[in-house]
Amino acid sequence: KAGGSCGIVPTEYFSIPLKLLTFLQDYRITTIRWVPSAMKMVSTFKGFKSIRPDRLRKIIFGAESMPVKCFNYWKENYPDAVFVQIYGPTEITGVCTYHIVDRDYGDDETIPIGHAFKNSEVFLLDEENRPIKRADTVGEICVKGSCLALGYYNSKDRTDEVFVQNPLNPYYPERIYRTGDLGRYNEKKELVFVSRKDFQVKHMGHRIELGEIETAAASLPGMRNVCCIFEQDKQKIHLFYESDSYDDAKAYEALEKRLQRYMLPNMMHRMDSLPLLKNGKVDRLALKNEI
């Protein structure tokens, strides 16, 4: 319709920043929609020093949290481009929220996932299925609207578990999808992704979001990639990280200035590279096997 074309990036290029950026330049790519892991590969190795594709105008990212350090590197190199954070589980057949990143963020802040698209309604429920409206109160992200899938193929039990009747509507049938993701509203009433519900743990009598520990660690200068794992049996928090600037003692000391004491990792694991899944996300199962 617009007279454009679609460039399919070979998967292996996402491990080789120079080839990735050369592809964007050669094919005159104007818009990308990537997971942050792919963008982190470019920022970690300062790829734009070698080549800076000159046609990029719109940069869309989602599927996982975007480290602000990585975003700021791209923004410095593309100050006039439009940056958009999107959010949406597969079960809503696309994306349901977006945030046009129109202001600066510090390395220790989180970029919001924003507001719902017109065909969706996105809201937070607490553990008692009550709606959350106030800022900085964490709840489960729930979605309703025409975007919902019908359910999981040939899996009624799994479908019935998360595609449920809207607890806020006792008047007529209305399905919602419980994402299993945790979020909160900021002071601007924008939705902010916090963590997976699976990553919320009880430790030393406190409820902890592992995602908040990851955000704090990722904000440290010189930290390339991080992942936090909770060892349930021994009640220990493990932090796996990639960095040339820190050893375990220095990384722990830096985190002491950014986290409450009960949130500090019990074990630190410096790695040359964290294992990744095919979609670029950290392979948490592989890291659990390292414990």
Confidence of residue 281 (pLDDT cuts 50, 70, 90): confident
Residue 169 CB burial class (10 angstroms; 0-12, 13-18, ≥19)? exposed
d(CA 255, CA 240): 13
**Biggest distance spanned by C-alpha atoms of the chain:** 60
Q: What is the mean pLDDT of residues 177-186?
A: 94
Does the pLDDT at position 11 exceed 80?
yes
pLDDT, the chain, mean: 91
pLDDT in tens, 136-179: 899 999 999 999 999 999 999 999 999 999 999 999 999 999 99
pLDDT at residue number 116: 95
Q: With 70 as the cut, is the pLDDT of residue 280 above it? A: no
pLDDT at position 279:
65
Q: Tokens in use for 254?
A: 């830096």
Contact 59, 84 (CB under 8 A): yes
Count of beta carbons in the 10 Å neighbourhood of residue 160: 11
pLDDT per residue as tens digits for the range 90-136: 999 889 999 999 999 988 789 999 999 988 999 999 999 999 999 98
Query: What confidence tens digit (pLDDT) does each residue in 45-100 have?
Result: 899 999 999 999 999 999 888 889 899 999 999 999 999 999 999 999 889 999 99
